[in-house]
Structure 1
Amino acid sequence: MARDVTDSTPITSRDGLVAWLEAGAKPPAQFRIGTEHEKIPFYRGGHSPVPYEGARGQGGIKALLEGMQKKLLWSPVTDGAHIIGLYDAVGGAGISLEPGGQFELSGAPLETIHQTAAELDRHFLTLDAVAAPLGIGFLSLGMSPKWPRGEIPIMPKHRYAIMAKYMPEVGTQGLDMMFRTATVQANLDFSSEADMVKKLRVSLALQPVATALFANSPFTDGKLNGFLSARSEIWRHTDAARTGMLPFAFEDGMSFERYVDYALSVPMYFVKRGDIYHDVSGGDFRDLLQGKLAALPGEHATLADWANHLSTIFPEVRLKRYLEMRGADAGPRPFLTALPAFFAGLLYDPSSLDAAWDIVKSWSDATREKLRVEVPRLGLAATVGGRPLREAAAEVLRIARAGLAKRNRRDVRGKDETLFLDPLDAVLLETSEAERLIRKFKTQWAGSIEYAFEECSY
């Protein structure tokens, strides 16, 4: 999750909320690509989780952040007395912590996937220099494969304490989502309301395709869990009010206003004032607009409150001042660039966007939801609209490749961005990462999850 927004500009009306989203539109020449990924830290000796303060004389997450801060010279982000992240005020990148210590790079908004690859190279080089002396490694899986939830350390972030208290009231697996999962996410721009709506619809419909292509979370508590993407399945049981496929986005009249109305219907978690997170779980943002929120009487909404509230809504594609693709498991290094390449190829070339829409426009709400339900277990073996998902995914991947070729963004070797889709071609021709690991678990690993810490690490 990104760091909290701090803009204290007052906001008093629904129109102001809509205007804030609309202000994200930009001309295509200014489109950028942001890539975020989470990775689960572990001690290489013993394969145990990494607490914030460290364990048994070993440095922990705090030491990791402090070491990164010294090397990068980024500004520290704190929660009370605790360092909980870093921020590059020049480039716009950041490092943050998820609730169970998942270490996240929120990449800068960049023009090309080549730049994203270079950003990742720099990040991992710096991270390895800091983490190796601490004996810390990082899993390249979409879910913690070994430790029971009770063994996973809790990071000292007040917003997460509020969420952890509320999650069991609204779903059965919200705490698993918070403490045990990891994702890679791509953030992309829109030029207008109509452009936003079309991109939102295409990317929502195709998130299950991304889930299948990036499936990489087949282990829980040291055993096979019966899923290819258990992370995706967990999201289906987290909180129905703030997750899912947003069927309203496909209705006539979809707009910024309609998304604002949806967001206003989602209960709040917190309001931040200064360094204090006020627990307003279940509160109504409309009451905050009017200064009538029961938990904070007389307190009025700010732009920071709105931005922070939007960050606590978790659909498969999230609208802020850009669109966030949220359906993929974290995976090996090549998959971290494959996701932004996949969606940039689909969404940033108009003809590719049209072609992708032609594939999904006939899918009904029921078809999309059925696919969302089947994919975590079946992956590309699921069906959609009476055809194998693998066949539809191959067609979508061809469209993405064509879109990247038309973008014609080349590196110093003269290579365009299509090379970043090669890992997904391999998934279509062979198997997903999850299926590959399941096969190894049953054969070479002889049922021991310990091998995952060697094979599935960055």
Structure 2
Amino acid sequence: MTPLTESTAEDHLLGICFKIGPPRLTGVEAEWFIHDTRCPERAVAPERVAEALATLPLRPGSSEPQLPFGSRLTREPGGQVELSSPPATDPADCARGLLADQAALAAALATQDLRLTGTGTDPYPRERRMQLDLPRYRAMQRYFDRRGPWGRIMMCGTASVQVNLDAGTESGPQGLAARWELVHRLGPVLVAAFANSPLLDGKPTGHRSTRQLVWSRMDASRTLAPAALADPRAAWAQYVLDARVLCVRRPEGSPWTAPDGLTFRQWLRGAGDRPPLAADLDYHRTTLFPPVRPRGHLELRMIDAQPGDGWLAPLALTSALLDDPVAADAALAALAPLGHANGTRPPRTALWRRAAALALTDPELQRAALACFAIADQALARRPGAAELRTALGRFAERYPVRGRCPADDQLDALRTGADPLAPADPAPLSPEDAR
């Protein structure tokens, strides 16, 4: 294969990072910790999880579980599990499918007295131990351990909800540049409204989204947002090439460790032990974790994992605001008072730090959140078949933004009373009666 140059690498990135077209598809990736139903403080052996998952049928010709609506099940380095929904043309269909697959996964885990727990950080004090012994994760652990505890905490002790939305058209109200701007302006409100990680090692951290704090303290070359350039494609290409190389894939038995401090651009210019190929560049992109990651579509990564079916609310909010042009304009106007980042890239800006620490106790963030939830509700009212999503969004708004609260406050309230901090944070799933 022909080695890359800087020019061919940039052309490659410009061609594949954003798929241009009218917004059409939506997807969700929901992640959970697995806890013992009777003793959640006790670490769960990977063998118990494997036995539980073995009760699920397999995809034809595959060793992967087959879930009713086709969500992909993956296991994360610290034992977390994730369901990735298939892309759907209607967010309501996406929601119904993932609800069914979540129920099937929960039933399988129950055979071993295990439960899914939705929280942005595992609040219980326990050793952070890698449960997946793969070259990628070994290299990640070595890379992050050189920079402090944050990478290991991220890999083994955090969980998220990610909403995936189309990149948009070339220009116009649903254009890529407009949608890119909106999701980055909306980011602090999503952090604050859905903050659900106030505890680490059994103690309050002073942040309602400790998960966001962890991400902000990791390697800045891969967790900050790209520079605020007029063209998101150019900004992303620059970001990818200037990010440090986390690992280099090598033959079986050889470590994937990369030279410390090596950026991909330096690799292209002759550093490293061999010239990089397009496959190396594509793999390098998967090791970058900004708040919004282009993968053809836009992957929103700033939302803490939610209890129960709580992922419905961020799905409803973001899809309504981005895919309804009237709502998108109204949301930008509502977010304008929060101001600009003055050249500093999230999540290191003061606004993002306030969102992680204070959540909706911050009056400006609460006002912006209430406006965005109301705008999204109006957009869902205009959308046929969105009753279930609208109900979920309204229920969440009444429980949290209207009261200046977020799910993290449930955990803190429980801790003050001596209760299990996660027990009250898992509301009953949305019922068919609620949806009607």
Q: Tell me the TM-score normalised to structure 1 length.
A: 0.81
- 1:42 correspondence with 2:20: no
CA distance in 2, matches of 1:9, 1:395: 52
Matches within 5 A, 1:38-437: 38-47=31-40, 48-52=42-46, 54=47, 59-60=48-49, 62-68=50-56, 70-71=57-58, 73=60, 75-76=62-63, 93-148=71-126, 150-194=127-171, 195-246=175-226, 248-249=227-228, 251=229, 253-272=230-249, 278-280=256-258, 282-286=261-265, 292=270, 294-295=272-273, 297-298=274-275, 300-302=276-278, 304-361=279-336, 363-366=339-342, 369-383=349-363, 388-406=364-382, 408-410=383-385, 415=387, 417-426=389-398, 427-430=400-403, 431-437=405-411
Q: Which amino acid aligns with 1:435?
A: D
Cα contact 2:33–2:80 (8 A) shared by 1:
yes
CA positional deviation for 1:34: 0.7
CA offsets, 1:176-206, max 9 Å, x none?
1111011111010023344222111111121
CA distance in 1, matches of 2:234, 2:66: 31
CA distance in 2, matches of 1:153, 1:218: 23
Q: Which amino acid aligns with 1:21?
A: C
Q: Which amino acid aligns with 1:130?
A: A
CA distance in 1, matches of 2:65, 2:251: 18
Cα contact 1:36–1:106 (8 A) shared by 2:
yes
Give SS of 1:400's match. helix
Matched pairs, number? 412
Give SS of 1:315's match. coil
CA distance in 2, matches of 1:93, 1:308: 23
CA distance in 2, matches of 1:239, 1:315: 10
CA positional deviation for 1:271: 3.3
Cα contact 1:141–1:182 (8 A) shared by 2:
yes
Counterpart of 1:18 in structure 2 is 14
Cα contact 1:235–1:243 (8 A) shared by 2:
yes
CA distance in 2, matches of 1:17, 1:375: 32
CA distance in 2, matches of 1:20, 1:275: 29
Query: Residues 272, 428 of structure 1: CA spacing in aligned structure 2 closer, same or farther, 3 A cutoff?
Result: same
Cα contact 2:76–2:82 (8 A) shared by 1:
yes
Cα contact 1:265–1:284 (8 A) shared by 2:
yes
Query: Residues 375, 191 of structure 1: CA spacing in aligned structure 2 closer, same or farther, 3 A cutoff?
Result: closer
Q: Tell me the TM-score normalised to structure 2 length.
A: 0.85
CA positional deviation for 1:35: 0.2
The structure whose residues are more often strand, as a share, is 1
CA positional deviation for 1:305: 3.2
Q: Does 363-372 or 111-120 show the bigger shift?
A: 363-372
CA distance in 1, matches of 2:353, 2:320: 26
Query: Residues 156, 51 of structure 1: CA spacing in aligned structure 2 closer, same or farther, 3 A cutoff?
Result: farther
RMSD of the TM alignment (CA)? 2.9
Q: Which amino acid aligns with 2:415?
A: F
Cα contact 1:113–1:337 (8 A) shared by 2:
no
CA positional deviation for 1:45: 3.6
Counterpart of 1:27 in structure 2 is 22
CA distance in 2, matches of 1:139, 1:416: 22
Cα contact 1:38–1:104 (8 A) shared by 2:
yes
Q: Which amino acid aligns with 1:155?
A: L
CA positional deviation for 1:437: 2.4
Cα contact 1:145–1:221 (8 A) shared by 2:
yes
Cα contact 2:122–2:158 (8 A) shared by 1:
yes
CA distance in 2, matches of 1:103, 1:356: 33
Counterpart of 1:80 in structure 2 is none
CA offsets, 1:154-191, max 9 Å, x none?
32232111111111333551211111011111010023
CA positional deviation for 1:11: 6.0
CA positional deviation for 1:237: 0.9
CA offsets, 1:106-161, max 9 Å, x none?
1110122321222223212321332112222221211101133x254532232111
Cα contact 2:222–2:290 (8 A) shared by 1:
yes
Cα contact 1:95–1:106 (8 A) shared by 2:
yes
Q: Percent same amino acid among aligned pairs?
A: 27
Listed as ranges, the gaps of 5+ residues in structure 2 are 429-436
Counterpart of 2:433 in structure 1 is none
CA distance in 2, matches of 1:153, 1:257: 36
Cα contact 1:42–1:49 (8 A) shared by 2:
yes
CA distance in 2, matches of 1:307, 1:404: 36
